[in-house]
């Protein structure tokens, strides 16, 4: 099995990610996140929000609606220019994104048509009377920020330079969804739009600043630095709104791929929406990351094998569960009772999981595979001196810790 097959299989088996609508044969480009996947995604979002909003005094948050007045997408240029070039095989009629295929159809070897532009916006129809009102599921969460710029300036005490952060779903009618959840038709974005004075030096300063901040964020949560790089877009590659664009890329099993985009959008959006600040139109530096892609790349990057054991070396802050608690043996009522007590107490403080199946070795194996950084075992000594064994996922080292100290022991480790 190659690495991607192993990741996909682990995700399904352990409850990170399932194919969407699976019992009806699935639906291409949609994924459901199981009990562990939702924890991982929530952790990514929470940590992003903490560093982008809560720890700063120049960024505020927003949660705009997914469906907006279609005029927004006319003004932003998306109804015209939010396109990918598409080719169709003249033989089997399968369709592909031009940049993902060579001369011949990968499915049947047939020749392609000339490239056509294909708009990625997903249409929806609203209301009960005909003709129904056509609208779009947002193709990027960004526009919600620009159309609320004035509301935010008027209702909160922000002054340029400042940013507006948002996390939410976006939808793209991708021609070729694939590589697991890397390219989906429904996904979540986490974005910052940072507004600056329209001056070259100012734009450059904040562009450089945010490139570094975002790289450091991924490194800080454990992405191997050799698997991360920054690549500047060539002029013909830039999106219609971008003056300058960089991708933070990840060295994935399917090549170097975009993790997050850092874009200098200039005054494109605010001028299209005819929005000004004082007497000028600010420029925008954007950091635009994908929550699903981050989840996938964190999983790939932390995946390791020792013999036939899998260890997911997720950063503890990202791990779905921080601690697993078990009694040394399940059939001793006094051990089980004590372990249960400790589990219920820890659970109030930290995401904690209970396991009393199989033997200790199997339980360690299971927890390693889902990335739980610490396992607590309650044994006979616990009943005598009130200490437990804490075992570390990455080093397999064990130490005795007093039950009364467990809270502070784990909070220290998590810092
Ligand atoms: P690509 O070139 O891969 O199509 P893009 O340049 O169109 O991506 P942006 O518009 O810059 O992507 O979107 C910002 C971020 O949103 C991306 O870096 C990615 O993390 C996420 N993203 C975009 N499209 C998808 C998708 N189809 N599935 C999952 N995540 C996506």
139 touches ligand 1 (CB under 6 Å): no
Would the pLDDT of 100 be above 90? no
What b-and-e string marks burial along 80-90, b requiring 16 or more CB atoms within 10 Å of the CB? eebebebbbbe
pLDDT at 240 over 90: no
pLDDT tens digit string along 104-157? Answer: 999 999 999 999 999 999 999 999 999 999 999 999 999 999 999 999 999 999
Q: Does residue 258 have its Cβ closer than 6 Å to ligand 1?
A: yes
Residue 102's pLDDT is: 87
How do the domains of the chain map onto residue ranges? 3-67+131-301, 323-414
**Distance (Å) from CA 18 to ligand 1 centroid:** 21
Average pLDDT of the residues of the chain = 96
Q: 112 CA to middle of ligand 1, Å?
A: 25
What is the residue with the minimal CA distance to atom 12 of ligand 1? 261
Which ligand 1 atom minimizes the distance to the CA of 288? 14
Topology of domain 323-414 in CATH is: Rossmann fold (3.40.50)
What does the pLDDT read at residue 1?
Answer: 83
Of 74-83, 237-246, 395-404, which has the strongest mean pLDDT? 395-404
174 Cα nearest atom in ligand 1: 27
Atom of ligand 1 nearest to the CA of 188: 30
**Residue 242 binned pLDDT confidence (cut-offs 50, 70, 90):** confident
pLDDT digits (tens, 9 = 90+) for 315-357: 999 999 999 999 999 899 999 999 999 999 999 999 999 999 9
Q: What percent of the chain has pLDDT over 90?
A: 95
Higher pLDDT, 57 or 1: 57
| 172 CB within 6 A, ligand 1 | yes
pLDDT of residue 72: 96
206, pLDDT greater than 90:
yes
Cα-to-centroid distance, 405 and ligand 1 (Å)? 44
Whole-prediction pTM value?
Answer: 0.95
CATH of domain 3-67+131-301: 3.30.930.10
Nearest CA residue ID for atom 18, ligand 1: 260
User: Which pLDDT does position 42 carry in this prediction?
Assistant: 98
Ligand 1 contacts CB of residue 33 (under 6 A): no
pLDDT at residue 251 greater than cutoff 90: yes
In this prediction, what percent of the chain has a pLDDT beyond 70? 100
């Amino acid at each position: 099995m190659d690495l991607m097959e192993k990741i996909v299989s682990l995700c399904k088996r352990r409850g990170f990610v399932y194919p969407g609508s699976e019992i009806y044969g699935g639906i291409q480009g949609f994924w459901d996140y199981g009990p562990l996947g939702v924890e991982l995604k929530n952790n990514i979002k929470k940590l992003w929000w903490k560093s982008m909003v809560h720890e700063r005094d120049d960024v505020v948050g927003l949660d705009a609606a997914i469906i907006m007045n279609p005029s927004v997408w006319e003004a932003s240029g998306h109804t015209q220019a939010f396109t990918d070039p598409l080719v169709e095989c003249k033989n089997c009629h399968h369709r592909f994104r031009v940049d993902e295929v060579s001369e011949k159809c990968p499915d049947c070897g047939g020749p392609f048509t000339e490239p056509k532009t294909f708009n990625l916006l997903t249409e929806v129809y609203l209301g009960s009377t005909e003709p129904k009102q056509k609208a779009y599921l947002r193709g990027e969460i960004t526009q919600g920020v620009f159309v609320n710029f004035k509301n935010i300036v008027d209702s909160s005490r922000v002054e340029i330079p400042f940013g507006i952060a948002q996390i939410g779903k976006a939808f793209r009618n991708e021609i070729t969804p694939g590589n697991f959840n890397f390219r989906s038709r429904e996904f979540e974005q986490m974005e910052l739009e940072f507004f600056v004075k329209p001056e070259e030096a100012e734009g450059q300063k904040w562009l450089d600043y945010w490139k570094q901040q975002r790289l450091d964020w991924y490194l800080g949560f454990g992405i191997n630095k050799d698997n991360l790089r920054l690549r500047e877009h060539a002029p013909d590659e830039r999106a219609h709104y971008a003056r300058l664009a960089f991708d933070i890329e990840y060295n994935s099993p399917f090549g170097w791929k975009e993790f997050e985009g850092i874009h200098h959008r200039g005054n494109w959006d605010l001028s299209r929406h005819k929005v000004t600040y004082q007497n000028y139109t600010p420029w925008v530096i954007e950091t635009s990351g994908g929550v699903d892609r981050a989840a996938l790349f964190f999983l790939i990057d932390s995946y390791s094998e020792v013999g036939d054991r899998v260890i997911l070396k997720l950063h503890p802050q990202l791990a779905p569960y921080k601690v697993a608690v078990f009694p040394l043996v399940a059939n001793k009522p006094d051990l089980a009772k004590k372990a249960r007590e400790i589990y219920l107490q820890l659970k109030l403080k930290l995401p904690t999981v209970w396991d009393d199946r199989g033997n200790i070795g199997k339980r360690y194996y299971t927890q390693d595979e889902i990335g739980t950084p610490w396992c607590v075992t309650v044994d006979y000594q616990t009943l005598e001196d009130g200490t437990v064994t804490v075992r570390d996922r990455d080093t397999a080292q064990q130490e005795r810790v007093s039950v009364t100290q467990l809270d502070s022991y784990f909070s220290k480790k998590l810092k």
